[in-house]
Structure 1
Amino acid sequence: MPDSSPISLADARKSRSASEPTLTQIDLRRLWDDITQGCEGCGDPLVRGLLATGIRNHAGFANGLAALIGRKLGDRSVADDALAELVTEVFDADPEIVAAAAADLVAIRERDPATANYATPFLFFKGYHAVQSHRVAHWLWHNDRRYLALHLQSRASELFAVDIHPAARLGRRILFDHGTGIVIGETSVLEDDVSLLQGVTLGGTGKNVGDRHPKVRRGVLIGAGAKVLGNIELGEGAKVGAGSIVLESVPPYTTVVGNPARPVGTRHSSLPAFTMDQMLPPIDYMI
């Protein structure tokens, strides 16, 4: 597959004002062209049908994504084509969902060195698929179709090993790297530009009711296997080391690690979710 990189996160940002954080329709067309071009060099006869079904048979990004979600989550309860039609209706009702999905894909291409082009995460990255399935389930949850939203949550959990409650709020440019084992509770909030690795839990601390899950601010990076529990806040630009157990709020631009997590360093700026830098400052600690 040839490299395909005409669109960058910087391009996407230039195309929108601060008051209107959306990708324009021309951006979506360019992105779909890049996705299509990303699979043109593949001559494997066993993959041609996959590429046709996943990409070439569709006129644009929204159509292709709706078909992908339908194909992935469809089962005997809700058939593939019926689910794809439902997702298309959701996209038509709220085009911002499509814009967010496109922004997520661009962010993955920017941050993940395993992505040679846009076609790869679009077709194969279950972290991306889980986030987009959640965006549809979230819309259903808030439009009086809660059982259907919970069905999509259940199917996504079964297929992707990623469990996101439909009521949880996710911003844009979200990266779930690998995805396996991520759990996000009902009242969790992830702001824009957040990156999570496998095995992360944003959970409660017991049987508390109401607002009981973490609030993750912009640019946070949470390392593999970390558990963030309770109605606490990870401040903008915070970094959580792999395997940490976080039970208290973390100030902005602060790195925490350990069990229980404790601060081990601060920065004046920079958002670790962009760099995916999981290195820690020199410390002396025991997990």
Structure 2
Amino acid sequence: MAGHQHAASHTEGGLLRGKPPSRHMARQHSATGIADLRRGGSGMPHVRTAPELRALALAVKDESSQETLSAPLTRLAQSPFEGCAEEESWHPSQGWRWMSHHLSMDALWAKIREEAEADAEAEPTLASTLHSTVLVHQSFEKTMAFILANKLASSTLLGTHLMRLCQDAYADDPAIIDACNADLQAVIDRDPACDKYTQCILYFKGFQAVQSYRISHWLWKKGRKALALALQSRVSEVFHVDIHPAVVVGRGILMDHATGIVMGETAVVGDNVSMLHHVTLGGSGTGKGIRHPNIGHGVLLGAGATVLGPIHVGNGTKVGAGTVVVSSLPSHSVAVGVPAKIIKTDEKAEPCQSMDQCSGFIHNYEI
């Protein structure tokens, strides 16, 4: 995606731990907003001169260094990339960063319209669809609101009401649409089956499910729990993805295929997390406290992976397909089996980027 613009941008940090291994792609640091954490902590070192980056906090949950990300996503005033430093040592396990090839919101919207116009001309059968979903709208926010509303509408939950709801959420908390942009960039970066932005926003149910969750989470934080749960129910029916509105999810999320993904009420998912279908972040017990997993930054959860209870999966860790995790995993580890066993550690690996669920271990390991 050479030549893409990168102007004003926004970012949420969050869980941050571990050494930063070298990375083949330099990353631009954008400044816009960091999540408040459930528990206070010390700030992380920042690499750009803009004072916005001082807003990052790190929460340490207990002596096992379990980090906890919390809502809401926050957004500071727009700031240009001027003054940003290139981070050649950036690693996905450090949290979301805007890269130089990522698009600003204005550039993203222009690219989406360009793709829609080209597809409408090339495929007349889709012309009316592309006009109603993209080309008649004046902004990315309105397009996303229209798409989600039409996917989730029912005979009793009207599309017009849902579209207004999405627009209200985006207007009240612009960090939601920033996170949507980050998720979209993550899909383009990590999914070789996706070569257009329009392909993702129109047809990828994993992406649509995450964006729908973000609206339900906004409702939950506003105390509108009845509507948040109604929206969760519709997302489960339509996309076969069940994410409780109270779950805390970072930025740069890829849910590939997505069918059967479940995240329970107190689960936490960091930035740059990639997961495939039938992943379960399940609870243990009936208490009212934290009973679901905390997933760090830059983690890959393979197809059918199950993580149970109030445990922590460390930053940059790979959980192999079909693995059942019932105890905490350290950062930058590879875990496979039932129950999970750690078979190697690799601080340089970027599992959420490579999306490799089996290379290097699956043929030499017996459950």
Question: What TM-score comes out, normalization by structure 2 length?
Answer: 0.73
1:24-73 Cα shifts (integer Å, max 9, x gaps): 59811110111111233322222111111111111111111111111111
Task: Identify the residue that residue 264 of structure 1 maps to in structure 2.
Answer: 343
Note if contact 2:5-2:107 (Cα within 8 Å) is conserved in structure 1: no
Match for 1:101 among 166, 170, 180? 180
* Cα distance between partner residues in 1 of 2:234 and 2:210: 13
Task: Identify the residue that residue 166 of structure 1 maps to in structure 2.
Answer: 245
* Residues 111, 9 of structure 1: alpha-carbon distance in 2 compared, 3 angstrom cutoff: farther
Count of aligned pairs = 284
Moved more, 205-214 or 162-171: 205-214
1:189 aligns with 2:268: yes
* Cα distance between partner residues in 2 of 1:92 and 1:144: 17
1:125-144 Cα shifts (integer Å, max 9, x gaps): 00000000000000100101
1:230-272 Cα shifts (integer Å, max 9, x gaps): 0001100000000000001110000000100101111023331
Match for 1:209 among 269, 274, 288? 288
Q: Structure 2: which 5+ residue stretches go unaligned?
A: 10-26, 32-45, 47-51, 54-73, 80-102
Note if contact 1:9-1:110 (Cα within 8 Å) is conserved in structure 2: no
1:73-92 Cα shifts (integer Å, max 9, x gaps): 11122211111011101111
* Cα distance between partner residues in 2 of 1:87 and 1:5: 32
Q: How does 1:143-158 map to 2 (within 5 A)?
A: 143-158=222-237
Question: What TM-score comes out, normalization by structure 1 length?
Answer: 0.92
Task: Identify the residue that residue 108 of structure 2 maps to in structure 1.
Answer: 31
* Cα distance between partner residues in 2 of 1:31 and 1:10: 11
Note if contact 1:219-1:272 (Cα within 8 Å) is conserved in structure 2: yes
Task: Identify the residue that residue 111 of structure 1 maps to in structure 2.
Answer: 190
* Cα distance between partner residues in 2 of 1:9 and 1:206: 47
Moved more, 115-124 or 265-274: 265-274
Note if contact 2:321-2:358 (Cα within 8 Å) is conserved in structure 1: no
Q: What SS class does the counterpart of residue 109 from structure 2 fall into? A: helix
Task: Identify the residue that residue 70 of structure 1 maps to in structure 2.
Answer: 149
CA RMSD of aligned residues (A): 2.3
Match for 2:214 among 132, 135, 148? 135
* Cα distance between partner residues in 2 of 1:194 and 1:268: 16
Note if contact 1:8-1:106 (Cα within 8 Å) is conserved in structure 2: no
Note if contact 2:335-2:341 (Cα within 8 Å) is conserved in structure 1: yes
Q: Structure 1: which 5+ residue stretches go unaligned?
A: none
Moved more, 194-203 or 14-23: 14-23
Task: Identify the residue that residue 126 of structure 1 maps to in structure 2.
Answer: 205
Q: What SS class does the counterpart of residue 265 from structure 1 fall into? A: strand
Amino acid at match of 1:35: I
* Residues 7, 178 of structure 1: alpha-carbon distance in 2 compared, 3 angstrom cutoff: farther
Q: What SS class does the counterpart of residue 255 from structure 1 fall into? A: strand
Q: What SS class does the counterpart of residue 46 from structure 1 fall into? A: helix
* Cα distance between partner residues in 1 of 2:172 and 2:2: 30
* Residues 76, 169 of structure 1: alpha-carbon distance in 2 compared, 3 angstrom cutoff: same
Deviation at 1:117, TM superposition (A): 1.1
Note if contact 1:238-1:255 (Cα within 8 Å) is conserved in structure 2: yes
* Cα distance between partner residues in 1 of 2:199 and 2:226: 32
Note if contact 1:5-1:117 (Cα within 8 Å) is conserved in structure 2: no
Q: Give the structure with the higher percent helix.
A: 1
Deviation at 1:11, TM superposition (A): 9.9
Task: Identify the residue that residue 319 of structure 2 maps to in structure 1.
Answer: 240
Moved more, 137-146 or 35-44: 35-44
* Residues 261, 11 of structure 1: alpha-carbon distance in 2 compared, 3 angstrom cutoff: farther
Task: Identify the residue that residue 14 of structure 1 maps to in structure 2.
Answer: 28
Q: Kindly, what percent of the aligned residue pairs are identical?
A: 42
Amino acid at match of 2:315: E
Deviation at 1:205, TM superposition (A): 2.6
* Residues 77, 145 of structure 1: alpha-carbon distance in 2 compared, 3 angstrom cutoff: same
Note if contact 2:116-2:135 (Cα within 8 Å) is conserved in structure 1: no
Amino acid at match of 2:104: D
Task: Identify the residue that residue 224 of structure 1 maps to in structure 2.
Answer: 303
Moved more, 66-75 or 92-101: 66-75
* Residues 219, 9 of structure 1: alpha-carbon distance in 2 compared, 3 angstrom cutoff: farther
* Cα distance between partner residues in 1 of 2:8 and 2:321: 32
Amino acid at match of 1:285: Y
Q: What SS class does the counterpart of residue 40 from structure 1 fall into? A: helix
Note if contact 1:62-1:98 (Cα within 8 Å) is conserved in structure 2: yes
